[in-house]
């Protein structure tokens, strides 16, 4: 009886194929995963793979997974069940095609061996730090013997040193990974175990990639990291180190780059220089995602957050002093083990004190292998979690609606970054990440235009172009940036 071998990767090779093949990538989770999926497509382009919009008929399917949400692995296995049917259908046909199924990302990193055991039809399982080795993995999986590849090690080399210089996925608004990993070890979080230790890319490498993005049409770049403001990369000059504030200032000098954002940040790493950059750099958007998780010092200590609620308040006060129009979003967890009514009340008080434009909130769910998962004797009943989440979201939703409604009557700069839902319409984003549909000619695609806000909804605004210089939609910013046609990047399906 033939036994398939599970092979771990320890070397790299470069392979070139001219035959065009179909690649489908489904992405769950954060912006970092979206960036990683795009770069996987770039790596596989050298093998002749071209992205498609559905798995039907694909030569390769990659599930790029997220381990943050509840029942993450169950979602992956459910999707794999559907893919198995498609793989069997292809195998039954006479053209000799064989679909390669791969599982990537944080679920792969955390549960790779279980995936290989439970899903014997999966060909490759690899973590977030090894997708630069895809050419060799594909070569092994494509052999007649059908080797199965498990590659969840943390390689010594940085994947960024081996990725293609050009990316096919550059859009008007683009992501750029500058930092990965986490050393904070919050007791509820799997990221340190799935993404590894904190690592910052060299500044020169980031600047070069950003310039290529702008040449390809990017007008807004969002800097990504698990703790992006922990960035401390090697500077271009020998022996120098740049923080995120310095990096942002240098990026702002790139001609044609109109907007800069960063996510996700940690209160512990919000240093003086980064705070000052919010007042010094006009291109740095006045919208910051700064997760706090709880307003209770007791729960924050149990989470190992290493800051208090008042520490967080002081950081926000300092940021608003240098940028009075700053708006914030955050993350909240309700029902963390041991959370009492008084602790939850402190979270509501913090939300009331800060006032958020947007926020994400979740019921605590244990992640295997994390310290908090072992706190069985202090688990909060599910019904209590549900009640608390509803109360918290009611307050947050009211704040978001109030923030959006405060925009009515204002004129805001909107970056038109994608096509609208109907002909003659473009979609854009305000400085505060609100979606804004605008009736506008195609020639304004990829530009920043002034829009007078006429209506507000729960998650978006509506408005009309402001007349300036006698021409609809032209502003000082649009006159300095050539108009462009949207060339949709090879989209990866993204699932929250």
445/486 Cα distance (integer angstroms): 7
Please check if 189 is assigned to a binding site: yes
Q: State how far the alpha carbon of 82 is from the alpha carbons of 76, 158, 177, 264, in Å.
A: 10, 34, 31, 33
CA angle, 264 then 226 then 265, to 5°: 30
The sheet with strand 358-363 has its strands ordered as: 287-289, 327-334, 358-363
For residue 324, give Cα distances in angstroms to 232, 275, 328. Answer: 27, 12, 12
Using alpha carbons only, give the angle 242, 326, 451 rounded to the nearest 5 degrees: 115
Distance of CA 335 to CAs 64, 289, 292, 376, Å? Answer: 29, 22, 15, 13
Q: Which residues pair with 261 in a beta bridge?
A: 222
Distance CA 255, CA 87 (A): 47
If you write DSSP's letter for every residue of 337-379 in order, what string do you get? TT--HHHHHHHHHHHHHH--SEEEEEE----TTSGGGG-GGGP
Q: Is 492 marked as a binding-site residue?
A: no
DSSP-assigned letters across all residues of 295-331 = S-HHHHHHTT--S-HHHHHHHHHHHHHH-TT-EEEEE
Sign of the CA dihedral 438, 443, 449, 452?
negative
Residues in the chain: 496
Q: How far apart are CA 367 and CA 243, in angstroms?
A: 32
Sequence-ordered list of residues with C-beta below 8 angstroms from that of 162, at least 6 positions apart, any chain: 12, 132, 133
CB 300 within 8 Å of CB 308? yes
- Residue 106 labelled as part of a binding site: yes
Q: Contact at 8 Å (CB) between 266 and 230?
A: yes
Neighbours of 28 (CB within 10 A): 25
Q: 210-237 b/e with 16+ CB inside 10 Å = b?
A: bbebbebbbbbbbbbbbbbbbbbbbbee
- How many Cα neighbours within 13 Å face the side chain of 332? 31
Q: Which two tokens stand for residue 141?
A: 């999986």
- Is residue 30 part of an annotated ligand binding site? yes
Binding residues for [4Fe-4S] cluster: 30, 66, 106, 182, 186, 189
Binding residues: 30, 66, 106, 182, 186, 189
């Amino acid at each position: 009886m033939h036994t398939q071998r599970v092979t771990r990767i320890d070397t790299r090779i470069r392979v070139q194929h001219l035959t065009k093949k179909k690649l489908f990538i489904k992405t769950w989770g954060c912006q970092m995963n979206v960036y990683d999926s795009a770069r996987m497509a770039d790596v596989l382009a050298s093998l002749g793979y071209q992205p498609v919009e559905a798995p039907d008929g694909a030569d390769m399917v990659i599930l790029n997974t997220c381990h943050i949400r509840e029942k993450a692995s169950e979602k992956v296995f459910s999707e794999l069940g559907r893919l198995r049917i498609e793989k069997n259908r292809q195998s039954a046909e006479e053209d000799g095609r064989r679909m390669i199924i791969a599982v990537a990302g944080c679920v792969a990193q955390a549960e790779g061996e279980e995936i290989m055991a439970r899903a014997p039809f999966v060909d490759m399982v690899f973590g977030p730090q090894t997708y630069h080795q895809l050419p060799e993995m594909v070569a092994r999986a494509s052999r007649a013997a059908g080797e199965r590849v498990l590659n969840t090690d943390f390689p010594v080399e940085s994947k960024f040193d081996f990725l293609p210089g050009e990316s096919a996925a550059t859009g008007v608004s683009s992501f750029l990974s500058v930092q990965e990993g986490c050393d904070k070890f919050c007791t509820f979080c799997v990221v340190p175990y799935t993404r590894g230790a904190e690592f910052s890319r060299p500044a020169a490498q980031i600047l070069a990639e950003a310039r290529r993005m702008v040449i390809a049409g990017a007008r807004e770049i969002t800097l990504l990291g698990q703790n992006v403001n922990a960035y401390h990369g090697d500077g271009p000059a020998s022996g120098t180190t740049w923080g995120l504030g310095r990096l942002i200032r240098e990026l702002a000098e790139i001609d044609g780059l109109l907007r800069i954002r960063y996510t996700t940040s940690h209160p512990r790493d919000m240093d003086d220089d980064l705070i000052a950059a919010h007042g010094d750099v006009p291109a740095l958007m006045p919208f910051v995602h700064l997760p706090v998780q709880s307003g209770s010092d007791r729960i924050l200590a149990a989470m190992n957050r290493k800051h208090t609620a008042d520490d967080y308040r002081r950081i926000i006060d300092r940021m608003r002093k240098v940028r009075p129009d700053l708006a914030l979003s955050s993350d909240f967890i309700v029902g963390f083990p041991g959370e009492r009514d008084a602790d939850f009340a402190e979270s509501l008080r913090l939300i009331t004190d800060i006032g958020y434009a947007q926020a994400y909130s979740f019921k605590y769910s244990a992640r295997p292998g994390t310290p908090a998962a072992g706190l069985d004797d202090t688990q909060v009943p599910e019904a209590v979690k549900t009640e608390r989440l509803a109360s918290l979201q009611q307050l947050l939703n009211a704040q978001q609606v109030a923030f959006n409604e405060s925009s009515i009557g204002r004129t805001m700069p909107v970056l038109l970054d994608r096509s609208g839902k109907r002909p003659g319409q473009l979609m854009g984003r305000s400085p505060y990440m609100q979606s804004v549909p605008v009736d506008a000619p195609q020639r304004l695609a990829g530009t920043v235009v002034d829009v007078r806000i006429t209506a507000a909804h729960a998650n978006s605004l509506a408005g009309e172009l402001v007349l300036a210089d006698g021409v609809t939609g032209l502003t000082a910013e649009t006159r300095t940036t050539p108009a462009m046609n949207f060339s949709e990047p090879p989209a990866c399906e993204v699932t929250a």
